[in-house]
Amino acid sequence: MAEFLEIIKNDSKIDFLGKAKLFFLISGILIAVSIFLIMTKGLNYGIDFSGGTVIQLKYEKAPDLNKLRKAIADLKIGDASIQNFGNPNEVLIRLGKTKDIHLEVLSKTIQTKISEVDPANKFNIERIEQVGPQVGSELKYKAIMALIYANIGVLIYVAIRFEFIYALGAILALVHDVLITLGFLSLTSKEFNLTVVAAILALIGYSLNDTIVVYDRIRERIKNSADNKLSIKDIMNKSINETLSRTVLTSFLTFLSVIALLIFGGEVINPFAFTLTIGIIVGTYSSIGIASGLVYLIKNLKKQ
């Protein structure tokens, strides 16, 4: 059974560090394109960050969401996201900036329009809230700080458990993962909201876990390398190869779960699932090809 699960043999001899320059080139191009997209096209901020209106409806029976989307689109009052909330009878409508329409007027306008969709299906407006630009800016600031604090925590943890060079390599690999993931979000214009921030924080933890497994094996090998006189490059390559099967198998199974969310999860969870899908791919690649390569590069620069 263990041999069946061992996709890649522990004694494989792939020269990952010998291909480090190629990995760095690929990553450099992806990061440059991502930064360019973020700076020019920007991110498609959701209501959480840009401000907007949230309306919760409760129907007697499940409504046709496609008809509701068409009715709201006909009003031309801004971008709208419509999905079930909790159960099929409850609907959540998220509107982008609504051109300074008064909340009461907006509520009556929407209520009148969606009443025409299915007059026999009665509904109540459970709540209607507006998120102002000031609140959105505050949430944006807190989201950025959450990402910064997460990386500082990683830096301290890895520096204590290993050494500062490893912590620096891990942080650079995480920044690499986040930037490329944000680049894909910008490219695809996926909504960037608080759930996406949660996905990025989850990605940081997931990617770090894979990196720590590799680093731990490198540390064990270095402690036991006195007799066999292996170079640091050989030790790192051997460690990556020994953990490669575990990394690929874990990432693949997680990827299958996230893909299921992406395909069947619906409109609400789509940005979250998309972020994790890209993040798992990029994070697995960086754990194998970037994190250890950065440590090796920093060690060589330190010797010069």
Annotated domain spans of the chain: 2-45+135-303, 52-131
C-alpha distance across the termini of the chain, in Å: 47
CA distance 72 to 75: 5
CATH T-level topology, domain 52-131: Alpha-Beta Plaits (3.30.70)
| Contact (CB, 8 A) for 257 and 202 | no
pLDDT of residue 36 exceeding 80: yes
| Contact (CB, 8 A) for 196 and 186 | no
Q: What is the pLDDT of residue 183?
A: 94
Mean pLDDT, the chain, rounded, equals 80
Average pLDDT over residues 218-237: 74
Predicted confidence (pLDDT) per residue in 118-161, tens digit: 788 888 877 777 766 565 677 778 878 888 888 888 788 878 87
CA distance 179 to 203: 12
CA distance 97 to 294: 43
Q: What is the pLDDT of residue 31?
A: 95
CA distance 147 to 286: 18
Full-model pTM: 0.76
CATH 3.40.50.720 for domain 2-45+135-303: no
pLDDT band at 303 (very low <50, low <70, confident <90, very high): low
| Contact (CB, 8 A) for 73 and 164 | no
Q: What is the pLDDT of residue 4?
A: 43
pLDDT band at 1 (very low <50, low <70, confident <90, very high): very low
Predicted confidence (pLDDT) per residue in 67-103, tens digit: 888 887 777 776 677 777 767 888 877 776 655 666 6
Average pLDDT over residues 49-57: 76
Beta bridge partners of 53: 95, 130
In angstroms, the Cα distances linking 137 to 11, 47, 99, 141, 199 are: 52, 11, 18, 6, 20
**Which stretches of the chain are DSSP H helices?**
2-5, 20-40, 47-50, 65-75, 103-115, 133-161, 164-188, 194-223, 232-264, 270-289, 291-303
Helix (H, G, I), strand (E, B) or coil at 95: strand
pLDDT of residue 241 exceeding 70: yes
Q: Which residue has the higher pLDDT, 206 or 101?
A: 206
DSSP letter (8 states) at residue 55: E
pLDDT band at 179 (very low <50, low <70, confident <90, very high): very high
Average pLDDT over residues 246-275: 85
| Contact (CB, 8 A) for 76 and 26 | no
CA distance 300 to 33: 28
In angstroms, the Cα distances linking 237 to 10, 13, 244, 250, 303 are: 11, 8, 10, 20, 20
Q: Which residue has the higher pLDDT, 47 or 214?
A: 214
Helix (H, G, I), strand (E, B) or coil at 290: coil
- Do 52-131 and 2-45+135-303 fall under one CATH topology? no
CA distance 51 to 304: 52
pLDDT band at 2 (very low <50, low <70, confident <90, very high): very low
| Contact (CB, 8 A) for 242 and 221 | no
